[in-house]
């Protein structure tokens, strides 16, 4: 899992409290108020799942809850990673 050295967060921006959540087998650092999708991308995770038709890799696309490509499992429920705000200890799994 990526560390802060490869982080895509802009240096000058103010951030909330740091926290950690799980994505599949890794631990991801995030900051209060970030979406799961943004925190994963910032940590270098581009692939969030796969298309159910053919298994092709998919990731964040519209970032506004429309395209449904960033669907992940949180507590066993399918949610859009781009609309889910991170919480300490959240357990996120890729849907496919």
Partner 1 sequence: MTHDLVILGAGPAGASAAITAAELGLRAVVLDEQQNAGGQVWRAPSGVETPGDDGARLRDRLRVSGVTRAFGRRVWLAERGFTVSALGPDGAEDYRAPALIVAAGAHERHVPVPGWTLPGMIGLAAATILLKSQHILPGRRVVVAGVGPLLLLVAAEILRGGGEVAAVIDANRRRDWFATPLALLSRPDLAGRGAGWVTRLLRAGVPILSRHALRRIEGTDGVTRVFAGPIDADGTQIAGPERAFDCDALCMGYGLQSSTEVTRLLGARHAYQARGWAPVTTAEQLTSVRGLYACGDGAGVQGVAAAPLRGQIAAIAAARDMGRLSASEAENRLVVLQARLGRAARFGEAMARLATPPPNLVPSIPAETIVCRCERLSRADLDAAITQGAVTVNDLKSATRCGMGPCGGRMCEYAAAGLIGARTGRTPEQIGQSTARPPLRPVALQALAGSFDYDSLPMIEPAPL
Pattern of binders to partner 1 over 35-54, x per CB under 8 A? x--x--xx---xxx--x-xx
Cβ-based neighbours of 12, under 8 Å, separated by 6 or more: none
Least spacing, CB of residue 58 vs partner 1, in Å: 6
The 3-state DSSP class for residue 23 equals strand
Whats the size of the chain, residue-wise?
96
Nearest to 22 by CA among 60, 73, 58, 83: 73
Candidate list 4, 24, 26, 33; residue touching partner 1; CB under 8 A? 33
37 membership: H or E segment, kind and range: helix 36-42
Least spacing, CB of residue 66 vs partner 1, in Å: 5
Residues at the contact surface with partner 1, assessed by CB under 8 A: 8-16, 31-35, 38, 41-42, 46-48, 51, 53-54, 56-69, 71, 77-78, 83, 85
């Amino acid at each position: 899992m990526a560390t802060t050295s490869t982080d895509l967060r802009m240096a000058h921006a103010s951030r909330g409290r740091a926290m950690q959540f799980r994505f599949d087998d890794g631990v991801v650092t995030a900051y209060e108020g970030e979406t799961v999708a943004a925190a994963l991308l910032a940590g270098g995770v581009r692939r969030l799942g796969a298309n159910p038709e053919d298994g092709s890799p998919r990731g964040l696309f519209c970032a506004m809850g429309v395209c449904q490509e960033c669907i992940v499992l949180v507590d066993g429920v399918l949610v859009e990673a781009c609309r889910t705000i991170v919480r300490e200890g959240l357990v996120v799994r890729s849907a496919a």
